[in-house]
């Protein structure tokens, strides 16, 4: 019965993590998956979220019935304010939203919805993008194409190439955009560049789909939503996937949200119904625990302040690690310019290393990066940064 089924080649990120776990070398360095590791190399819990867990232990609902298809109502209100900030008044009346299974679940619900009502629209993602963007949209039956983004020669953004490609897309083409902390390159657009992208999206009547998994890891919670605010100001309908895996360290709880900013309150109501239907036909209703935690933190000023302080400390630690790595590389290899690693932002950097260099880093030095050359900066700490710099310097 199942003999015709192809073997799964494995996910490029998760497979590498498995390899890393099996590696017996003591000084191995994990710069693979997008987990925030602290200075001790552990994935930490936020103390604000821990307090929410203590609260939850005594305050879970008396009857553990299903949540509504589109999730916990209070949670949906709390998290939209975080995503849209002071642009809320521009979108609130024309917003449809649903709680989702992390950012990936939001992308999947959005992809299914778009496939149903825009069957001829294709998706354009940045070259490169997070590998799973391709898989999720292909899995929903959407054809996936790329627009220029990263220039391997300059190790910088190819902004003119990006604009040129977006300017050639047919009306209603879907464009996947990373509003902050681009995964995998760590190269973000400036606000001026975002304005130009928003103008093209509006002029050509494209459908932007933002994927925001790292809000607050770039320049700050508010600063990281500038692209979303500009799109909101433009009046153009768009979609936004939001994830709380990294920024609340709730990876396994699968907490996120999907927003569809519509053209009118009436269409938003219709889309709200279709979001429920899409959820119902995928997994029926979402789990509640993670959403209750996020909602509890965001509903309390004291816990929100505590969470923001913790998030800021994470951002600053990653920033410091970047600076230190570049400084150490500068001493070891003054002949090579590594300054681009310091100007990239967020959890990831694109090293520009070739697959051969990545293989040498793993085989000879036990330093694990994704085959594309992506490094998870949060995997660096004061104990492994020297070894990492030496390994980088040796393979260049
Ligand atoms: C990553 O890009 O490493 C993370 O988003 C984890 C994942 O799901 O791939």
Q: What is the dihedral of CA 339, 374, 322, 396, to 10 degrees?
A: -50
Please list, in sequence order, all residues whose beta carbon lies within 8 angstroms of the beta carbon of residue 143, skipping any fewer than 6 positions away.
122, 123
- Please compute the mean of the pLDDT values over residues 31-39 and round it to a whole number: 96
Determine which residue's CA is closest to atom 6 belonging to ligand 1.
Answer: 34
Looking only at the bridges linking them, the beta strands covering 238-243 and 207-212 are: parallel
What is the per-residue pLDDT across 125-139, written as a single tens digit (0 to 9) for each?
999 999 999 999 999
User: Percentage of residues in the chain with pLDDT exceeding 70?
Assistant: 100
Q: How far is the CA of 203 from the centre of ligand 1 (A)?
A: 33
Q: How far is the CA of 34 from the centre of ligand 1 (A)?
A: 5
Please report the atom of ligand 1 found closest to the CA of residue 34.
3
- Please compute the mean of the pLDDT values over residues 333-361 and round it to a whole number: 96
Cβ-contact 140, 115 below 8 angstroms: yes
Residue 385, both tokens: 């940064």
Residue 130 Cβ < 6 Å to ligand 1 = yes
* Residue 80 binned pLDDT confidence (cut-offs 50, 70, 90): very high
Q: In the prediction, which pLDDT does 62 show?
A: 80
Please report the atom of ligand 1 found closest to the CA of residue 32.
3
Residue 33 Cβ < 6 Å to ligand 1 = yes
Position 63 pLDDT exceeds 90:
no
What is the per-residue pLDDT across 232-286, written as a single tens digit (0 to 9) for each?
999 999 999 999 999 999 999 999 999 999 999 999 999 999 999 999 999 999 9
Position 7 pLDDT exceeds 90:
yes
Position 61 pLDDT exceeds 90:
no
Position 91 pLDDT exceeds 90:
yes
Q: In the prediction, which pLDDT does 60 show?
A: 85
d(CA 151, CA 153): 5
Cβ-contact 256, 103 below 8 angstroms: yes
What is the per-residue pLDDT across 183-210, written as a single tens digit (0 to 9) for each?
999 999 999 999 999 999 999 999 999 9
Position 20 pLDDT exceeds 90:
yes
Position 40 pLDDT exceeds 90:
yes
Mean pLDDT, all residues of the chain: 97
Q: In the prediction, which pLDDT does 64 show?
A: 85
Position 348 pLDDT exceeds 90:
yes
What is the per-residue pLDDT across 216-229, written as a single tens digit (0 to 9) for each?
999 999 999 999 99
Q: In the prediction, which pLDDT does 178 show?
A: 98
Phi, psi (degrees; rounded to nearest 5) at 174: -95, 130
- Please compute the mean of the pLDDT values over residues 283-293 and round it to a whole number: 96
The catalytic residue positions are 130, 211, 246
d(CA 363, CA 382): 22
């Amino acid at each position: 019965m199942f003999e015709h089924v192809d073997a799964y080649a494995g996910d490029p990120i998760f497979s590498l993590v498995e390899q890393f776990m099996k590696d017996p070398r003591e000084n191995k360095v994990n710069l693979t998956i997008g987990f925030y590791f602290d200075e001790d190399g552990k994935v930490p819990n936020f103390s604000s979220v821990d307090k929410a867990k203590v609260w939850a232990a005594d305050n879970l609902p008396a009857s553990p019935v299903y949540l509504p298809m589109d999730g916990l109502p209070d949670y949906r209100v709390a998290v939209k304010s975080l995503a849209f900030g002071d642009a809320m008044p521009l979108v609130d009346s024309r917003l449809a939203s649903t709680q989702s299974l992390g950012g990936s679940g939001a992308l999947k619900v959005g992809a299914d919805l778009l496939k149903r009502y825009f069957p001829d629209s294709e998706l354009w993602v940045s070259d490169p993008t997070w590998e799973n963007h391709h898989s999720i949209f292909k899995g929903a039956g959407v054809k996936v194409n790329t627009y220029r983004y990263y220039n391997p020669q300059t190790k910088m953004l190819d902004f003119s190439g990006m604009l040129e490609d977006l300017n050639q897309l047919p009306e209603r083409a879907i464009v996947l955009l990373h509003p902050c902390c681009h995964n995998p390159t760590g190269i973000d657009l400036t606000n001026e560049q975002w304005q130009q992208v928003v103008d093209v999206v509006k002029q050509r009547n494209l459908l932007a789909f933002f994927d925001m998994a790292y809000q607050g890891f770039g320049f700050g919670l508010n600063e990281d939503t500038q692209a979303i605010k500009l799109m909101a100001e433009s009046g153009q309908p768009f979609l936004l996937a939001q994830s709380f895996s990294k920024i609340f360290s709730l990876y396994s709880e699968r907490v996120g949200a999907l927003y569809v900013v519509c053209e009118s309150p009436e269409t938003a109501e219709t889309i709200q119904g279709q979001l429920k239907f899409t959820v119902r036909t995928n997994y029926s209703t979402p789990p509640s625990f993670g959403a209750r935690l996020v909602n509890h933190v965001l509903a309390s000023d004291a816990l929100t302040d505590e969470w923001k302080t913790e998030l800021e400390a994470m951002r600053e630690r990653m920033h410091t690690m970047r600076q230190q790595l570049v400084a150490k590389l500068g001493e070891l290899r003054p002949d090579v310019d590594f300054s681009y690693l310091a100007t990239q932002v967020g959890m990831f950097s694109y090293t520009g290393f070739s697959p051969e260099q990545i293989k040498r880093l793993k085989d000879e030095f036990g330093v694990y990066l994704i085959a594309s050359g992506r490094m998870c900066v949060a995997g660096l700490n004061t104990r492994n940064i020297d070894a990492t710099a030496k390994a980088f310097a040796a393979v260049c």
